[in-house]
A and B are shown apart, each in its own frame.
Chain A
Amino acid sequence: MATRILPRLSRLAQHLFLAGLFVFIAAPMLVIVVFSFDANRFPTIPWGGFSLEWHRAILEDAMVRDAFLNSILVGLGTAVLSTLLGFAAAYVDYRWRFFGKRAFVLLVAIPPAVPVTILGMAMLAFLSRLGLFGRLEAVIACHTAVASSFSMALIRLRLNDFGRDLEPAAWNLGASHAAALFTVVVPFCRPALIASFFLSAAVSFDEFMIAWFVGGVHETIPVRILNLLQGQVNPKINAIGTVVLAVSIVLVVLAQWFVGVRVGKRADPT
């Protein structure tokens, strides 16, 4: 009988370990969410009872509202630009061979590998020379530089499955190069394009350092949180954190949905 009990114990241990790991990862976030609904001013145990006071307070805080609006604008702008550029770069890499291609691909891929402090400082120095410092457009441009790496990787991966004959077949059947791009290449990449949109938005929404360096007075949500924290321990931070967490989870889940589920559905004949 021991032969039956042992594997079961082993399975149980594995599950427990995995559960423990997830609790360790998720607990801090969970704590923030729980205390954002706490009536107490300071996060202490016991819980002071359910309250929407802090969520109401962030709605009434004009600076927090502005920061949210800025984050949404920057996120949307980054998502659109990064997806467009990422697609263009991926398509160029898929379609053509040219001198300096490796350097080009490296250039697109490198920004996420550079420490953000250095990236932020470099961008600040560059943008202030151009007189673009302190504008939301500047934050969008810098976020796009980072996010387009992810966009390109995602879309390039999709293009790997794009049959070499599909585009010539479209030309052969009467599609001009532009028509083939929009009726064949783009529809084929659609799941990756949507995923790239949400992922870029998430990257931008969560990014602090660059936004802090180049945004000037235009604060995004992560910048606002830090500024709040530097002043005092404010329970509003928990409420903001909860909202940010919810938005990020939704964006990443949407991105994963379009990368995994949609692509899988097409590839798998059921």
Chain B
Amino acid sequence: MSAPFVALEGLDKRFPGHHAVRGIDLQIAAGEFVAIMGPSGCGKSTTLRLIAGLDEPTGGDIRIGGRSMRGIPAFQRDTPMVWQSLALFPFLTVAENVAFPLRMKKVGAAERRRRALEWLDRMGLAGMADRDIAQLSGGQRQRVAIARALVTQPSILLLDEPLSALDAHLRVRMQTELSRLHKQLGITFVYVTHAQSEAFALADRIVIMSDGAIQQVGRPQDVYREPVNAFVAEFMGMNNILRGTVRGASAGRLALETPLGSFDVPTRKTHPVDSKAAFVIAADRIALAAAGTYGGLDATVIGLEFVGSTQTVFVETASGHEFRIQKQQHEIEALDLAPGRQISLSWEPRHAWLLPDFR
């Protein structure tokens, strides 16, 4: 990566009785779309507030465009944010809301109005300029909030769960809109969300946080297919983790003995024999066959969950280990699956992913 546009260097934030951000390092390139994901309380929103200067770090530094942000107050940073609550000013009209940052920059009234109208037009809100915020729908308010954040032509936009208040249909539309804006403007977007679908659809890179620390940074497909540890694998949701002991290793492969038997797992580094290790097999990479198929793992179906075009099948082995398997609707029908039915699982060894960071 060339010189990063945003750099978090050992960024640390302690609140009384709570270590929210634990000395994280992260570099974001100019024009990149980065999504920060994690369960609630993982420190992702605090990280965003630290970048915006709304909270003071207790350690480390933030550099934006090479410049240290230490001691620079929020109002001098030019890091506009789109809030989960939108934080629109209810006593101002739509146009006055959008023009607010320009007013703070002492831009003349006529020029302010012109630029606010331009942005409203761009966001498909032409003709709404003089309405009250209360008169707008949820989606329209969302657009006002985005217009207000972008009206000063910043080089970075921070978004804190901006779509979580919208219904599913609007969310997808706004996702498309954000993606379009990011391409058109070419500025850096830092997007905090707990929704995997949003992060995967929008981001160039994904940062997974947990308990104040960064767990993994990578492209969506990397984070999804090659999680570094059990936390990321579980956070991604559709993964099955098998833990065991290394029994033998050869070039690029190792044999892992687990309670369910011995499995062949590809590996990039060598693991000492008798050390503990774990691998992940994604839910969509497990094949199902009739019970008793040679080389398969016998299990009982315990439940089916309909998720649109695919279904999630929950199965349990005789020893009580649970697997989740993702299958197309027609495959489920072909196998005539129902709770209680015996089935055989298998996967190609190359699809097993050894967790590089396992303790």
**Chain A residues in the interface with B (C-beta under 8 A):** 163-166, 168-177, 179-180, 183-184, 187-188, 190, 266-269
Instruction: Determine whether the beta carbon of A165 is less than 8 Å from that of B91.
Output: no
A-B contact pairs, 21 of them (CB 8 A): A165-B85, A165-B87, A169-B87, A169-B89, A170-B89, A171-B53, A171-B74, A172-B79, A173-B104, A173-B149, A174-B78, A174-B104, A174-B105, A174-B152, A179-B75, A183-B103, A183-B104, A187-B89, A187-B91, A188-B89, A269-B132
Q: Is the CB of A269 within 8 A of B135?
A: yes
Neighbour of A173 across the interface among B90, B101, B134, CB < 8 A: B101
Nearest CB of A to B153, in Å: 13
Contact yes or no, B78 A266, CB < 8 A = no
Asked if A172 and B134 sit within 8 Å, CB to CB, the answer is no
Given the contacts A165-B85, A266-B134, A269-B132, A175 and B104 also touching, CB distance less than 8 Å? yes
A188 to B90, CA, bound (A): 8
Distance in angstroms between the alpha carbons of A223 and B83 in the assembled complex: 56
Interface residue? B54 (CB, 8 A): yes
Would you call A172 and B135 a contact (CB within 8 A)?
Answer: no
Known: A174-B75, A174-B105, A183-B103. Contact between A266 and B91, CB under 8 A? yes
In the bound complex, do residue A173 and residue B91 qualify as a contact, i.e. CB atoms below 8 Å apart?
no
In the assembled complex, the CB of B100 is this many whole angstroms from the nearest CB of chain A, namely: 6
Q: Contact between A176 and B75 (Cβ–Cβ < 8 Å)?
A: yes
A171 to chain B: closest residue by CB: B74
- Contact with B89, one of A168, A172, A184, A269 (Cβ below 8 angstroms): A184
Kindly identify which residue among B80, B105, B132 contacts A172, using a CB–CB cutoff of 8 Å. Answer: B80
Task: Report yes or no: B87 in contact with A171, Cβ–Cβ below 8 A.
Answer: no
B21 within 8 A of A: no
Q: Smallest CB–CB gap between B187 and chain A, Å?
A: 16
Complex: chain B residue closest to A184, CB-CB: B89
B135–A171 touching, CB < 8 Å: no
Residues on B with beta carbons closer than 8 Å to the beta carbon of A267? 134
Say which residue of A172, A187, A268, A269 sits within 8 Å of B54 (CB atoms): A172
A172 to B150, CA, bound (A): 12
B91 touches A170 (CB 8 A): no
Q: Is the CB–CB distance between A168 and B90 below 8 Å?
A: no
Please name all residues of chain A whose beta carbon is closer than 8 Å to the beta carbon of B132 when the two chains form the complex. Answer: 266, 269
Q: Do B104 and A168 have beta carbons less than 8 Å apart?
A: no
B104 touches A179 (CB 8 A): yes
With A and B bound together, what is the CA distance between A19 and B76 in angstroms? 62
* Cα distance, A215 to B134, chains bound together (Å): 49
Contact indicator B75/A171 (Cβ below 8 Å): yes
Q: Is B65 part of the binding interface, using a Cβ–Cβ cutoff of 8 Å? A: no
Whether B73 sits at the interface, judged by CB under 8 Å, is yes
Produce 1/0 per residue, B71-98, CB < 8 A to A: 0011110111101010101111000000
In the bound complex, what is the Cα–Cα distance between A188 and B103 (angstroms)? 17
A170 CB contact (under 8 Å) in B73, B78, B85, B100: B100
Supply 20 further A-B pairs (C-beta < 8 A) apart from A175-B104, A183-B100: A166-B89, A168-B54, A169-B81, A169-B87, A170-B89, A171-B74, A172-B74, A172-B75, A172-B79, A172-B80, A173-B100, A173-B104, A174-B75, A174-B104, A176-B73, A176-B75, A187-B89, A187-B91, A188-B90, A268-B134
Tell me the complex Cα distance, A204–B90, Å.
33
Q: Are B54 and A190 in contact (CB under 8 A)?
A: no
Q: Are A174 and B73 within 8 A (Cβ)?
A: no
**Cross-interface CB contact of A165 among B76, B79, B83, B103, cutoff 8 Å:** B83
Q: Do residues A175 and B135 form an inter-chain contact, with CB atoms below 8 A?
A: no
**For window 96-125 of chain B, which residues contact chain A by CB distance below 8 Å?**
100-101, 103-105
State how many angstroms separate the Cβ of B71 from the closest Cβ of chain A.
Answer: 15
Give the most central of A164, A190, A269: most B CB within 10 Å.
A269
Residues of A within 8 A of B134 (CB): 266-269
Residues of A close to B103: CB separation below 8 A: 183
Structural contact, A172 and B100, CB atoms closer than 8 A:
no
Residues on A with C-beta less than 8 A from B53 are 171
CA distance A168 to B54 in the complex (A): 7
Question: How far is A176 from B135 in the complex, measured between Cα atoms in Å?
Answer: 29
Does B288 interact with chain A (Cβ within 8 Å)?
Answer: no
Q: Decide if B148 is an interface residue (CB 8 Å cutoff).
A: yes
- Measured in the bound complex, the distance between the Cα atoms of B149 and A177 in whole Å is 18
Per-residue 0/1 for B186-229: is the Cβ within 8 Å of any A Cβ (1 yes, 0 no)? 00000000000000000000000000000000000000000000
Note all chain B residues with C-beta closer than 8 A to A190.
Answer: 91
Q: For residue A262, give the distance in angstroms from its CB to the closest CB of chain B.
A: 10
Inter-chain CA distance A89–B165, complex, in Å, is 34
Residue B52 CB within 8 A of the other chain:
yes
Once the chains are docked, how many angstroms separate the CA of A163 from the CA of B90? 10
Chain B contacts with A in 150-208, Cβ cutoff 8 A = 152
Q: How far is the CA of A169 from the CA of B52 in the complex (A)?
A: 10
Say how far A33's CB is from chain B's closest CB, in angstroms: 39
Report whether B85 and A174 are in contact in the complex, using a CB–CB cutoff of 8 Å.
no
Q: Across the two chains, which residue of chain B brings its CB closest to A161?
A: B90
CB distance from B219 to the nearest CB of A (A): 29
- Chain A contacts for B92, CB-based, 8 A: 187
Q: Which residues of A lie under 8 Å from residue B89 when comparing CB positions?
A: 166, 169-170, 184, 187-188
Task: Find out whether the CB atom of B91 lies under 8 angstroms from the CB atom of A169.
Answer: no
Contact A171 to B85, CB < 8 A, known contacts A268-B134, A269-B134:
no
- State whether A163 touches B91 (Cβ < 8 A): no
B 265-296 to A, binary, CB cutoff 8 A, 1 in contact else 0: 00000000000000000000000000000000
